[in-house]
């Protein structure tokens, strides 16, 4: 399953940026960077060394700021939530990065891990849509956020509870629970090579009953912060594991990042025009197919 072939100039200049742009545009509309789908793409094309996880974080570092800036300009960044998610994710991230290098250097083991994480993401996305539908039935509001009221305003914030107003309704969540969830997501995200937004957003919708459109900016900001920390960690650990390819692949990361920058900005701008239900269904199918393809490759390698 490992491939050492260097990407061609056509791959770097055309193919990878276009793929990253399309995936980022779609995924940023539900509050995630798309790195969780780009990593399997790298595994298919370039192999499954620890370097692909670090390269994925380089993509996050480059791609997420454009989406974050757009959300801030539109008044959709809930800073207390964003900082809580980042603070909870970081400790878990460092543990996850170490696990990736020490426990999951094998292409087969890592591919199985990635496939399982993708299935978990798909399952959580299904649960989050059911939770949104149940909430809309209770409140009388559409499961898809109203296009005219996307500003998020913090109502109160303490060490116990965070509450905010969005789309004319009040929402609240437990601060300790947020930190605990973020820590666990950080472990998985650090090992996988993602910021964790793809795991955080569905959990927050399904278990905290929060609307997905109010979370997009905060989860994207958390992804950016964890990308910075992960890249530093991978770079420092590379010297201690000379037999493994640990450091990020700069040409691939930059190529994906440039495409992701355009896709993130477009997704943040277009989010209000698309149905959340349709986006979730499309992403869920795409995630499941990717996971099954990965498992098929593993089976073909073993048998």
pLDDT tens for the chain, 303 residues: list them.
Answer: 444 567 888 999 999 999 999 998 988 777 677 888 999 988 888 887 888 999 999 999 998 888 888 889 989 999 999 999 999 999 999 999 999 998 998 888 999 999 999 999 888 888 777 766 666 666 555 545 444 467 899 999 999 999 999 988 999 999 999 999 999 999 999 999 988 888 888 888 888 888 878 888 999 899 999 999 999 999 898 888 888 889 899 999 999 999 999 998 888 788 778 777 777 788 888 899 999 999 998 888 887
248, 232 Cβ separation under 8 angstroms: no
Sheet holding 161-166, edge to edge: 152-157, 161-166, 169-174
**Terminal-residue alpha carbon distance, the chain:** 13
Identify the H or E element spanning 295: helix 276-302
Contact present, 123 and 216 (Cβ < 8 Å): no
Give the pTM.
Answer: 0.85
SS3 240: coil
Residues 171/210, Cβ–Cβ less than 8 Å: yes
From 266, 285, 287, select the one nearest 26 (Cα to Cα).
Answer: 266
Note the Cα 171 to chain centre separation in Å: 23
């Amino acid at each position: 399953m490992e491939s050492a072939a260097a990407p061609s100039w056509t791959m770097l200049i055309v193919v990878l940026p276009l793929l990253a742009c399309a995936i980022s545009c779609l995924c940023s509309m539900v509050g995630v960077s798309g790195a969780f789908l780009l990593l399997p793409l790298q595994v298919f094309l370039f192999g499954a060394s620890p370097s692909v996880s670090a390269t994925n974080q380089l993509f996050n570092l480059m791609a997420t700021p454009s989406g974050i800036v757009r959300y801030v300009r539109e008044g959709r960044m809930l800073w207390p939530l964003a900082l809580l998610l980042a603070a909870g994710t970081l400790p878990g991230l460092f543990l996850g990065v170490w696990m990736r290098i020490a426990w999951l250097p094998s292409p087969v083991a890592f591919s199985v891990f990635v496939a399982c994480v993708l299935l978990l993401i798909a399952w959580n996305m299904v649960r989050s849509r059911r939770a949104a539908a149940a909430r809309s039935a209770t409140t009388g509001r559409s499961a898809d956020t109203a296009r005219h009221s996307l500003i998020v305003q913090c109502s109160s914030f303490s060490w116990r509870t965070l509450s905010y107003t969005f789309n004319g309704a009040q929402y609240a969540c437990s601060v300790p629970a947020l930190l605990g969830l973020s820590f666990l997501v950080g472990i998985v995200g650090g090992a996988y090579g993602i910021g964790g937004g793809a795991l955080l957003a569905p959990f927050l919708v399904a278990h905290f009953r929060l609307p997905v459109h109010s979370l997009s900016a905060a989860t994207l900001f958390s992804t950016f912060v964890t990308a910075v920390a992960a890249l530093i960690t991978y770079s420092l650990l590379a010297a201690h594991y000379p037999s493994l390819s640990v450091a990020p692949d700069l040409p691939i990361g930059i190529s994906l990042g440039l495409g992701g920058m355009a896709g993130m900005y477009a997704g943040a701008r277009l989010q209000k025009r698309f149905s959340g239900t349709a986006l979730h269904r499309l992403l869920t199918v795409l995630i499941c197919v990717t996971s099954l393809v990965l498992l098929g490759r593993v089976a073909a390698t073993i048998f």
